[in-house]
Chain A
Amino acid sequence: MRKLYSLLWTLLCTTTLLWAQNPVTGKVTDENGNPVAGATISIKRTSTATVSDVRGDFSINAPQKSTLVISHVSFGSAEVVVNSSVLSIQLKTDASSLSEVVVTGYGTKIKRDITGSTGRVSGSDIENTPIPSIDAAIQGKAAGVFVNSGSGKLGQGITVRVRGNSSISASSQPLYVLDGVPITTTSQSSYGGTTNPLVDINPNDIESIDILKDASAGAIYGSRAANGVVLITTKKGKTGRTNVSANIQKGYSEATKRVEFLNAQQYIDFYRQAAGYRDRVAGTPPADPNSWTSYINDFINYNSFGTAGTPNQKDYNWQDQAFQRGGYTQADVQLNGGNDKTRFFLSGQYLTQAGTIIGNDLDRMTGRLNLDHKASNWLSVGLTMSLARTMNRRLPDDNAFSNPLQMAALPPITPFTDPNTGLPTGTPPGDVDLPLYYNPVISVNYAKYVQESFRNFSTAFGQVNILPGLRFRSEFGVDILSQNEEGYFQSQTVRNQTRAANGVGINRGTFITNYNTNNFFTYDKSFKQHVIEATLGMSYQQSQSKYNFVEGLQFPSNSYQRIASAATKSDGSSSETNFRFLSYFLRTNYKFNDKYLLSVSGRIDGSSRFGLNSRYGFFPAVSVGWILSEEKFLENARFVSFLKLRGSYGIVGNSEIGNFPQLGLFSGDAGYAGGAGQRPSQIGNPDLKWEQTKQLDLGLDFGFFNNRITGELDYYTKNTTGLLLNVNVPATTGFTSQVKNVGRLENRGVELVINSKNVVGKFNWSTQFNIATNKNKVLDIQGQIIEGGVRSMNRVAEGQPIGVFFTVEYAGVNPANGDALFYSNTKNADGSINRATVTNAGYGTAQRVVVGNPNPKYIGGITNTFSFKGFDLNVFFNGVFGNQINIYGLGQYSSANAIYEDNQTADQLKAWTLANPNTNIPEARFYRGNGNQPSSRYIVSGTYVRLRSATLGYNLPSSVLSKIKVSRVRFYVSALNLVTITNYPLWDPEVNADSFTNNYSIGNDFYTPPQPKTILFGFNIGL
Chain B
Amino acid sequence: MLKNKIIYSAGLICLLASGCAKKLDVLPTQSIDQSTALGSSKDVEVTLIGCYDGLQSTSLYGGAIQYVADLLGDNGDMRFGGTFQNLLEIYNKDITPINATVSDIWIQAYNTINRCNNVLSAIDKVETAKKARIEGEARFIRGSLYFELARIYGKTWDDGDNTKNPAVPLVTAPTLSITAADFKGRNSVAEVYAQAIDDITKAETLLPASNTIYATKNAAAAQLSRIYLMQAKYAEARDAANRVITSGRHTLATNFTSLFFTYLNNGGASPNEYIFSMIVTPQDGGNGFNTYYGVTISSIPGTAGRGDFRILTAHVNLYDAADVRGQYFYVNAAGNRFTRKHLDRFGNALVFRLAEMYLTRAECNFRLGTTVGATPLDDVNRIRNRAGLASLATVTLADILKERKLELAFEGHQLHDLKRTRSTVGALAWNSPKLVFPIPQREIDVNPNLKQN
Q: Could you list which residues of chain A lie within 8 angstroms of chain B, going by C-beta atoms?
A: 289-290, 298-299, 302-303, 378, 428-429, 431-434, 464, 466-467, 472, 474, 491, 494-495, 498-499, 501-502, 517, 519, 521, 537-538, 540, 542, 553, 568, 570-571, 575-580, 582, 584, 606-608, 615, 659-660, 663-684, 728-736, 738, 784-785, 791-792, 841, 843-844, 892-893, 900, 902, 927-929, 933
Contacts and interface: CB of A to CB of B under 8 A. Distances in A.
Interface in B25-53: 25-35, 37, 43, 46-53
A791 B447 CA distance: 21
A538 B13 contact: yes
Contacts of A577: 28-29
A355 B48 CA distance: 49
Place the interface of chain B in its size category.
35 or more
Contacts of B303: 501
Contact of B52 (A472, A668, A673, A791): A673
A843 B298 contact: no
B393 interface: no
Contacts of B394: none
B401 interface: no
Given A670-B53, A684-B177, 6 more contacts: A433-B295, A540-B23, A675-B46, A729-B178, A730-B183, A844-B96
A214 B156 CA distance: 61
A677 B52 contact: yes
B9 A521 contact: yes
B117 interface: yes
Contacts of B96: 843-844, 933
Contact of B53 (A466, A615, A679): A679
Contacts of B98: 791-792
A582 B20 contact: yes
A472 B5 contact: yes
A665 B33 contact: yes
Interface stretch (B103-111, B126-134, B192-200, B353-361): B103-111
B56 A731 contact: no
Contact of B24 (A582, A660, A679, A929): A582
Interface stretch (B221-229, B239-247, B281-289, B320-328): B281-289
Interface in B236-291: 279, 281-285
B115 A680 contact: yes
B445 A571 contact: no
Contacts of B285: 672-673
Given A431-B333, A733-B171, A679 B312 contact: no
Given A498-B296, A502-B301, A675-B49, A736 B23 contact: no
The 6 closest A-B pairs by CB, nearest first: A734-B114, A677-B49, A670-B50, A498-B304, A666-B37, A673-B279
B398 interface: no
Contact of B28 (A568, A659, A670, A678): A659
Given A584-B17, A785-B445, A667 B2 contact: no
A71 B7 CA distance: 33
A578 B107 contact: no
A676 B49 contact: yes
A666 B24 contact: no
B409 to A, nearest CB: 19
B330 to A, nearest CB: 12
A607 B24 contact: yes
B29 A575 contact: yes
B31 A732 contact: no
Nearest to B306: A498
A107 B175 CA distance: 50
Nearest to A519: B13
28 contacts: A298-B334, A433-B307, A498-B345, A499-B345, A501-B345, A519-B9, A568-B282, A577-B28, A582-B20, A582-B24, A607-B24, A608-B26, A665-B33, A666-B32, A672-B279, A673-B213, A674-B283, A677-B49, A678-B47, A680-B37, A680-B118, A730-B169, A732-B110, A733-B182, A735-B111, A791-B85, A928-B92, A929-B88
B388 interface: no
Nearest to A738: B178
A538 B16 contact: yes
A494 B92 contact: no
B13 A575 contact: no
Given A677-B53, A785-B445, A892 B85 contact: yes
B113 interface: yes
B24 A608 contact: yes
B16 A519 contact: yes
B350 to A, nearest CB: 15
A1013 B400 CA distance: 68
B217 to A, nearest CB: 20
B54 interface: yes
Contact of B313 (A290, A431, A433, A434): A290
B442 A663 contact: no
Among A669, A735, A892, chain B packs the most CB atoms within 10 A around the CB of A735
A105 B432 CA distance: 67
B93 to A, nearest CB: 12
Contacts of B182: 729-730, 732-733
Nearest to A570: B282
Given A672-B52, A929-B92, A785 B442 contact: yes
Contacts of A467: 2
A731 B345 CA distance: 30
A432 B37 contact: no
Contact of A681 (B5, B31, B175, B333): B31
A667 B28 CA distance: 10
A793 to B, nearest CB: 10
Nearest to A498: B304
A589 to B, nearest CB: 21
A474 B9 CA distance: 8
Contact of B9 (A466, A542, A582, A606): A466
Given A501-B302, A582-B21, A667-B30, A672 B176 contact: no
Contact of A671 (B35, B184, B284): B284
A785 B448 CA distance: 12
Contacts of B443: 730-732
Nearest to B446: A728
A995 B96 CA distance: 24
Given A553-B282, A680-B115, A730-B184, A606 B50 contact: no
Interface in B185-237: 213
B160 interface: no
B286 to A, nearest CB: 10
A407 to B, nearest CB: 15
A298 B177 contact: no
B302 A734 contact: no
B114 A677 contact: no
A472 B12 CA distance: 11
B94 interface: yes
A679 B55 CA distance: 12
Contacts of A664: 33-35, 176-177
B20 A729 contact: no
B175 A735 contact: yes
Contacts of B171: 732-734
Nearest to B346: A499
Given A683-B177, A684-B34, A735-B114, A671 B53 contact: yes
Nearest to B83: A900
B369 interface: no
A673 B284 contact: yes
A472 B213 CA distance: 68
A731 B106 contact: yes
A413 B115 CA distance: 52
Nearest to A728: B446
B391 interface: no
A434, A495, A575 interface centre (most CB from chain B within 10 Å): A495
Given A577-B28, A731-B106, A733-B110, A683 B53 contact: no
Contact of B17 (A538, A580, A663, A929): A538
A670 B53 CA distance: 6
A683 B175 contact: yes
Nearest to B97: A844
Contacts of A682: 31
